[in-house]
Amino acid sequence: QKEVEQDPGPLSVPEGAIVSLNCTYSNSAFQYFMWYRQYSRKGPELLMYTYSSGNKEDGRFTAQVDKSSKYISLFIRDSQPSDSATYLCAMSSMDSNYQLIWGAGTKLIIKP
Amino acid sequence: DSGVTQTPKHLITATGQRVTLRCSPRSGDLSVYWYQQSLDQGLQFLIHYYNGEERAKGNILERFSAQQFPDLHSELNLSSLELGDSALYFCASSVAAGGNGELFFGEGSRLTVL
């Protein structure tokens, strides 16, 4: 079993829909949780960064961390075709010397 | 533009050959990470350097080696290349010594082994 599980998709939704992307993990020591967005043939870029549990909102994006369930989510409201990309979750802990452990990435397609 | 520069952008070579990929981190960043991404695969962590010293090794093959120089640029050397080494190789940099900081990724070096 991988430390971080993420459905590779693809996930295809119509423009304007609310998108929910998720990752589950097994290491309860993870403290830092990140979502990166990667456009085709480009390097990943940080989208959201959360420490420990709770929610964080940034414009149309909301990141949620549920440490009791070992589950993190990224919600995208009013999805746009420009949101079409691969979304990777990543997390780290002091135990692992803060080395990032990555999910496989979910490919998201927003249909106009 | 992330501020991380990788060269070359594209590289085509033959099996058995050796190549060197170069990375210049963002100004002020002391950490450099190397990742491999094969077609439809996630990011595979290879190695991490912080201020010239190796900090962590991931799934890096013995045929691969890396170093970070005093000016903080880094090179990833891939030798005895095999078809399966064809992939995108990303370099990322960070001001932090560990993964609790944001990583800034370069555009990648696309390696094709024929």
Q: Cα(B45)–Cα(B77) distance, rounded to whole angstroms?
A: 15
Say whether B100 and A92 touch across the interface (CB within 8 A): yes
* Chain A interface mutation, best of B105, B107, B112, highest count of A Cβ atoms under 10 Å: B105
The pLDDT of residue B75 is above 80: yes
Cross-chain Cβ contact A41/B99 below 8 Å: no
CA distance B79 to chain A (A): 24
Q: How confident is the model at residue A5 (pLDDT cuts 50, 70, 90)?
A: very high
| Three-state DSSP class for residue B85 | helix
pLDDT tens track for A43-91? 999 999 998 888 999 999 999 999 999 999 999 999 999 999 999 999 9
Greater pLDDT, A109 or A1 = A109
Residues 29-48 of B with CB under 8 A from A: 40-43, 45, 48
Split at pLDDT 50, 70, 90, the class of A98 is: confident
Q: How far is CA B106 from CA A6, A28, B24, B26, B85, in A?
A: 24, 31, 9, 9, 19
| pLDDT over 90 (residue B82) | yes
Does the beta-carbon distance from A41 to B108 stay under 8 Å? yes
pLDDT digits (tens, 9 = 90+) for B89-110: 999 999 877 666 789 999 999 9
Q: What is the per-residue pLDDT for A95? A: 76
A100 contacts A2 by C-beta, under 8 angstroms: no
pLDDT tens for B49-72 read: 999 999 989 989 999 999 999 999
**How long, in residues, is chain B?**
114
List CB contacts (< 8 A) between B90 and chain A.
43-44
* Mean pLDDT of all residues belonging to chain B: 93
pLDDT in tens, A34-45: 999 999 889 999
Give me chain A's average pLDDT, please: 93
Q: How far is A17 from chain B (nearest CA, A)?
A: 25
Rounded-to-integer distance, Cα B14 and Cα A10, Å: 33
d(CA A27, CA A77): 29
| Mean pLDDT confidence for B13-40 | 94
In this complex, do B103 and A46 lie within 8 Å of one another by their Cβ atoms? yes
